[in-house]
A and B are shown apart, each in its own frame.
Chain A
Amino acid sequence: NAGVTQTPKFQVLKTGQSMTLQCAQDMNHNSMYWYRQDPGMGLRLIYYSASEGTTDKGEVPNGYNVSRLNKREFSLRLESAAPSQTSVYFCASSPDPSSGANVLTFGAGSRLTVL
């Protein structure tokens, strides 16, 4: 039972390079999310997708783009990486937030370093 799978687990980029973080869930959840976690700042929402075909900005969307490829997959793209984007990125999914029970299941995280 895989849950939420993120790839890659680690990545080092140079300033200005681009990359895509991949996320897939096998729980038939409707909603998916991308968070970043920095020391002392907790988890901050970058983008989310309430359902297949929709995406919306979170707290810190600048410098990122997302694609909800299908119900299972939600990718996060950095077009031109900056050192400020050095962080641990978590993908999460939830079944149906409108029901009120918005329990998120998280992936193991992707640690990104931008030099």
Chain B
Amino acid sequence: EDQVTQSPEALRLQEGESSSLNCSYTVSGLRGLFWYRQDPGKGPEFLFTLYSAGEEKEKERLKATLTKKESFLHITAPKPEDSATYLCAAPFSGGYNKLIFGAGTRLAVHP
């Protein structure tokens, strides 16, 4: 069964305290692992796509990495404006059109 699981559910950090969010997946023939950011009351916004194990992508204080079974979103020296829910997603085994999402990690960064 296709599944995307994120941990932890919630994470509280002090400003400048680096950490990582985890996304594990059981999808046959992975055709991309996607990370989105969602602010309260808004729709998710695209951050990264990773396609193969070993691939890394960076954007400001965020770096996403991918292995054969999981992806990590590393947050280096976070700031309060990084507070949001981070979602990962992967296409269902059956086709590109259906993205299955994890439940998300709610990140709160305090000054």
Contacts and interface: CB of A to CB of B under 8 A. Distances in A.
Interface stretch (A14-22, A65-73, A105-113): A105-113
Contacts of B9: 40
Interface string B38-61: 000111111001010000000000
A42 interface: yes
B78 interface: no
A31 interface: yes
Nearest to A98: B96
Contacts of B25: none
A102 B96 contact: yes
B8 to A, nearest CB: 13
Interface in A44-86: 44-45, 48, 50, 56, 58-59
B34 A103 contact: yes
Interface of A: 4, 31, 33, 35, 40-45, 48, 50, 56, 58-59, 90, 92, 97-98, 100-109
